[in-house]
Amino acid sequence: MMMRLNRLAFLLNRFFASNNRLLQPRCCVTLLSLIYLVISVGLLIYTVNTPSHARKFVEKDAQHYIAIGRAMASGDFSMNYVKQRPYRQPLYPTLLSVVIRFGGENLFLFGMVNVTLGLIIIWLVYFSSLELFGNNAIACVIGFLAVMNRFSYERVSVSLGTEPLFVLLLFLVVLWFGSYISQGNSKNLVLASTAAGFAYLTRPNGLFIMPAIIGLAGFYDIFRRRRNAPSPSRLVPIGRLAILYASCAALFLIITLPSTLPRWRIWGNPIEHGVIENFMWVDDYNVGKQPTVRYTWRDYVATHTPLDVVWRWLRGFWAVYVRVPLWEEVWAILYLIAVPGVIIAVLRRQEPYRYLLLLAFILLLPLVWIHVADPTGRIPYSVMFPFEFIFAGLALDSLRARLNEPPTKSQQATNHPL
């Protein structure tokens, strides 16, 4: 048994070796891209050429995005669609409007928008893993897990939706925010705020990203970085930090004007999102989706007990953190590798990963609460998806480091018995 474990450790060491020529970046990213394109484009061709699948491709949410994109392609940027559908954001329909303007309402070209976004995600996952962990094998494994994830193809080739664009933008937020925590470079926080603005222009739950990253950055800068600084001369004055945070917030507000101004003009509320807000205060999807009724926290408090609140949180946490990833991924290999990475981030003093874990928790918290009323898996999983790659990479990096540790005396005696 010990000999088999030693053999496995030897093979893993060979695999993670930095000089593994079979896993050089150029070859690996080319292979990953080819696999992804063959699967995604093949599925897309099948979808748009099969009448039943083609109908589903443009049903429900997709028909709204196409209608908004059609108006934009004709030169109508009034955003008057928010009168009927304030829960739709304008960035993704803007991409579709370019296709409509130059290629007509071609389903294949619509799908290629998401295929392209998915390919960029694959590249970003691979090269960011290579940068973070400095190992070709880890980057290749993480990239392969991205390529083989069912969620990607469900949202790229089988349905037309905002998830690929949102995942891409949130992944940029995660990378730039993590870089800010680890390096303290103001530029990274500005870039994270920019990506957060565009993420909110993609999906309403992107609204929570900006306060989350500014709050966590403020906590780290004031309570952690100052305490750990070797000398007062290296401290960034509180005033400069306040200017940085205010500048990031102002940048976010400017970027999101295409969403907030029409809502302010039509609804008198810059962050009006219609029936989506109902799901926070009801327990049933069909009750919450009624556009003529508006529920508030007072309605919820009047009809629920503290035990109901606790039970709702418990159901939401179980669904979002366990059932949703297992369902969306099917094989859940990425999830199962990421879970040990989360445990490692909690137990070890590695600040960037701990703060990324806090960021994921904060962004998922409102989706945990509303999951009882809106049990849609794709929404919370599109938030969890970028973080899974980071923590899966951390788990593999920890495994590689463990394999490179010198054997103890007892292990040497076991491996070489007299």
Written as one string, the DSSP assignment of 68-111 is: HHHHHHTT--S-GGGGT-TT--SHHHHHHHHHHHHH-S-HHHHH
Q: In 10 A of CB 27, how many CB atoms?
A: 13
pLDDT value for 13: 53
**Whole-number Å distance between alpha carbons of 322 and 335:** 9
pLDDT value for 16: 57
Q: What is the mean pLDDT of each run of 10 residues along the chain (418 residues)?
A: 51 55 83 96 95 90 93 92 92 96 93 96 95 90 93 91 96 97 93 98 96 94 66 61 94 96 94 90 90 88 94 96 90 93 89 93 96 92 96 92 64 41
pLDDT value for 163: 95
Q: Which residue has the tokens 């930090």?
A: 241
**Tokens describing residue 331:** 């094989």
pLDDT value for 109: 95
pLDDT value for 409: 47
**Whole-number Å distance between alpha carbons of 216 and 201:** 22
pLDDT value for 239: 81
pLDDT value for 100: 95
**Whole-number Å distance between alpha carbons of 300 and 189:** 37
* pTM of this structure: 0.90
